[in-house]
Structure 1
């Protein structure tokens, strides 16, 4: 089966002219290029199918390469393929053929309709008119998912080679959360898998940047970090991963997905965060190994 993205890139690595720090920014859910074939397969209108997007998150972090850090961003939408899942996390009810034991069909994410190929978008709206074929799944997973993760791994390996450690900042947005009991709902949720994927000092610093801007910050609830955070975050091996969830109401109209008056404010705040991170002695903060002489001399 020919790729739905045969005539355009499914994702993009935007590199800095000069790498100044071991930080990689990843925006896996902000893609908004919907292939015609996919749109013909869905029962949803164009606005409804976009409800799963982390709309414009890639734009919020677009300055990263100008400041000296790479940005990996998806062009394919999350409703089409979710690279923040295991590669074969599939719902058997979505496919014409039976799924063998090699597929993960029993995860909580599959049960919620949000596997590698999602069954629903927000508010539990079914995506497809008819069942898919496994050939379609293989086209997306072998052709896009695996190359995407290979690109992400390459960026982290380059950071490790140059600096002796790597930091993945996984960039996401979340729907506005209602009040949690007596506590006001958070504007930002930081996910480090309950302290297992990122050095505490680094998470503390990121939280401070947001709280200093007057935002409410929560950790790991309700988002502790997805597949990317869990898979790549290995502090004991010098790779740190932190997921950042930004409440969409801060920068877009959640119903129309149009940018609101807060967009430039939030983009400016993300630039402040990036400048803070890029200016750090991350080796000292993360407690990593000594920086290689070549990198230290630059």
Structure 2
């Protein structure tokens, strides 16, 4: 059964790790990689029970021109730092990208290839939006470059010198994007990308600050027939929260006292300046006569 097992603290460096271990040896560069899990999990009884792994969907491009685009599925099993490439497709094999909902951000999306159809759920809405935006831009650039290349099957028409007649080969269906928001395609801009990256970073920080759940030891309380009460993980968090609130209120009180003292000093300096101005004005009137 597939579950999200990658620690949140290591997600920020996971892209560089995937790029170094998987794509650099292939003379490719990683454009984007997001962690996903299946919406409809497949039941595989032959797999060992309890073995967990994380799945990443990656978009890469070759360093050699003309650049080729690939979509790769990478897995990492729990307890092993090694990454393994399980599936590999070219961008021409990608038939359809389904954003599921064109009206709002959602983490679900589908990828349809020639002989494969996968239903995924990203770690967050921002990760899915960032992946689709980069994928759409890469597809547009790829097909524009492919249209600008000379067809190797072109031959000259002997009746019309100077003109070229192209032999039409089998047309390759292009990738279609359906149910995707316009801000990810035609209306996409670099500001959206910055916003998505900031959202992803904030989600990772929230997940990293969340205390890990405490697990009940196996077999505890079963022999006596009484349900054992394990200490709630929320109690220490609640106590630390009270301490943080108390410290914050104390700091605010001290800051308020300093502000009051500063305000009193400001009022005193204002009165002194007014008295000095009145004295200077009287002296000026006295000596001007």
Normalised by the shorter chain, which TM-score bucket? under 0.3
Is the strand fraction higher in 1 or 2?
2
Pick the structure with greater CA Rg. 2
Q: What is the TM-score of this pair, normalised by structure 1? A: 0.21
